[in-house]
């Protein structure tokens, strides 16, 4: 058989674990797993010494298009993703205008086509105005599901009260993705920082109770309305204990920044560059996230890539916007955690490939198996590099991990058989297409 691409000589992460074997890709799909001659492919990729993972997926990014594209756009955002070893991104609806209608989803797909370096899907934002339409909107091609903000953050999207949260949960059947902070408590406590404060007050204002209260409300409403939810960027020990009791209806995402940084050190060192919602908290919470990760409570890792320019971030707190870049740094930061013994590579594949596929019902991604998309993240587990701002493709040009020495690096990103990144260089062209989802969901 003539393959379009043969990846040979590497260690391939099959569903059964790592195997020294080769993979053939034909027409964008995996067509053979086993010993192959490099010459049987129109293109050969020598993966000797490298580990070939199923393509890693980032199910939470903010790319700002349409709207404040001086921070990011779909091209620059997916460029960073490809350079960081990510094969597909799910993009958030808090753009300007917010993605709350069929026209807005279709506009994003039209803008993305021909300009994205990775595959993509878009969330539809929940609002009290579109609640009854969400069941239809969530099934549009290229839509990965509903995103609901229970606490206000960047942008205008908000579904704060139980009655409206319940309306959203009753509309449709796919898993609802949620930013869980209690907006009533946020507003009550806003006075703590409103007149100006040190950024280390951010986790005081948006405190543990703010997160726990919202997640408690969400879980009881999800149960009452028989709806599955996906709780994003969980930050507290208390929520992890709660979520462990609700695994039948709630999946859980954490972020590399919450697993890696801790208060108060991050605010002293990084100032508002560490400001995000929900906040980075003290080490006891970080430890609890690692415990939950290794106990299986956590289902996936996303970046919550939320770019703001350095100039915007330099405004005095709390006028400084919340959010960190991350789509490009997730893989090296997590590989470094593997090198330091905090999780296994098998678990990272579960969290960043199989996990998103299972949570969102992705069709044809999430494992190296015949008939699946020819998506691969090829990594060098031994490579020693330093993450720098210079490497960052985001229009904002910064990362909170600037200067971090890591062991482990993404060496190539392969999207449906196209090698879009190799050795820190982009290749070919922006081949990204809309992610497909299982039709019966
Ligand atoms: O810190 C954040 N930034 N949290 C969010 O929920 C939104 C994001 C953004 O879009 O800037």
Q: Which long-range contacts (CB under 8 A, 24 or more apart) does 222-228 make?
A: 222/169, 222/176, 222/246, 222/249, 222/250, 223/249, 224/166, 225/166, 225/169, 225/170, 227/169, 227/170, 227/173, 227/176, 228/174, 228/175, 228/176
Work out the average pLDDT over 1-17. Answer: 95
| Ligand 1: centre distance to CA 22 (Å) | 41
CA-nearest residue, atom 7 of ligand 1: 154
The finding on whether 177 has its CB within 6 A of some atom of ligand 1 is no
| Ligand 1: centre distance to CA 137 (Å) | 23
Chain segment 127-169, per-residue pLDDT in tens: 999 999 999 999 999 999 999 999 998 989 999 999 999 999 9
| Ligand 1: centre distance to CA 156 (Å) | 11
* Length in residues, the chain: 441
Task: Dihedral sign for Cα 408, 409, 410, 412, please.
Answer: negative
Above 60 in pLDDT, residue 441?
no
CA-nearest residue, atom 3 of ligand 1: 323
The finding on whether 320 has its CB within 6 A of some atom of ligand 1 is no
Work out the average pLDDT over 195-221. Answer: 98
The finding on whether 306 has its CB within 6 A of some atom of ligand 1 is yes
Task: Dihedral sign for Cα 366, 368, 374, 376, please.
Answer: positive
- The pTM of this model reads 0.98
| Ligand 1: centre distance to CA 278 (Å) | 8
Q: Each residue of 77-91: b (16+ CB within 10 Å) or e?
A: bbbbbbbbbbbbbbb
Which atom of ligand 1 approaches the CA of 232 most closely? 6
Domain boundaries, the chain: 56-360
CB 100 within 8 A of CB 93: yes
Work out the average pLDDT over 261-279. Answer: 98
| DSSP-assigned letter for residue 316 | P
* Total Cβ atoms within 10 A of residue 184: 15
- CATH code of the domain made up of 56-360: 3.20.20.140
Above 60 in pLDDT, residue 37?
yes
Above 90 in pLDDT, residue 431?
yes
Chain segment 324-354, per-residue pLDDT in tens: 999 999 999 999 999 999 999 999 999 999 9
């Amino acid at each position: 058989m003539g393959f379009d691409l043969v990846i040979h000589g590497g260690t391939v992460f099959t569903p059964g674990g790592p195997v020294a074997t080769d993979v053939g890709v034909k027409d964008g799909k995996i067509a053979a797993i086993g010993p192959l001659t490099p010459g049987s492919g129109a293109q050969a990729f020598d993966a000797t010494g490298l580990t070939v993972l199923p393509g890693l997926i980032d199910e939470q990014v903010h790319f700002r298009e349409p709207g404040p594209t001086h921070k990011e756009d779909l091209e620059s955002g997916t460029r960073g993703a490809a350079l960081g070893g990510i094969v597909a991104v799910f993009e958030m609806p808090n753009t300007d205008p917010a993605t709350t209608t069929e026209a807005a989803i279709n506009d994003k797909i039209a803008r993305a086509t021909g300009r994205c370096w990775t595959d993509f899907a878009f969330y539809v934002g929940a609002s009290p105005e579109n609640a009854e339409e969400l069941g239809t909107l969530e099934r549009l091609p290229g839509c990965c599901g509903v995103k609901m903000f229970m606490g206000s953050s960047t942008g205008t999207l908000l579904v704060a009260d139980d009655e409206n949260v319940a309306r959203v949960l009753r509309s449709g059947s796919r898993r609802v993705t949620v930013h869980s902070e209690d907006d009533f408590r946020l507003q009550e406590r806003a006075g703590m920082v409103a007149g100006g404060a040190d950024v280390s007050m951010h986790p005081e204002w948006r405190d543990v109770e703010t997160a726990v209260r919202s997640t408690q409300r969400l879980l009881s409403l999800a149960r009452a309305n028989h709806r599955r939810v996906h709780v994003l960027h969980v930050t507290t020990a208390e929520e992890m204990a709660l979520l462990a009791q609700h695994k039948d209806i709630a999946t859980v995402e954490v972020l590399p920044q919450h697993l890696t940084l801790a208060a108060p050190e991050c605010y002293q060192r990084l100032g508002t560059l560490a400001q995000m919602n929900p906040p980075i908290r003290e080490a006891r919470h970080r430890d609890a996230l690692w415990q939950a990760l290794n106990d299986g409570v956590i289902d996936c890792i996303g970046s919550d890539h939320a770019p703001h320019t350095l100039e915007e971030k330099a405004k005095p707190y709390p006028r400084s916007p919340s959010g960190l870049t991350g789509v490009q740094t997730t893989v090296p930061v997590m590989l470094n955690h593997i090198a330091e013994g905090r999780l296994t590579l098998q678990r990272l594949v579960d969290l960043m490939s199989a996990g998103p596929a299972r949570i969102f019902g992705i069709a044809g991604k999430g494992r190296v198996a015949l008939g699946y998309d020819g998506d691969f993240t090829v990594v060098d587990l031994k490579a020693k590099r330093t993450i720098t701002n210079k490497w960052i493709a985001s229009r904002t040009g910064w990362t909170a991990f600037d200067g971090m020495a890591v062991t482990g690096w993404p060496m190539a990103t392969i999207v449906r058989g196209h090698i879009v990144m190799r050795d820190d260089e982009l290749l070919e062209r922006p081949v990204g297409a809309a992610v497909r989802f299982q039709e019966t969901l």
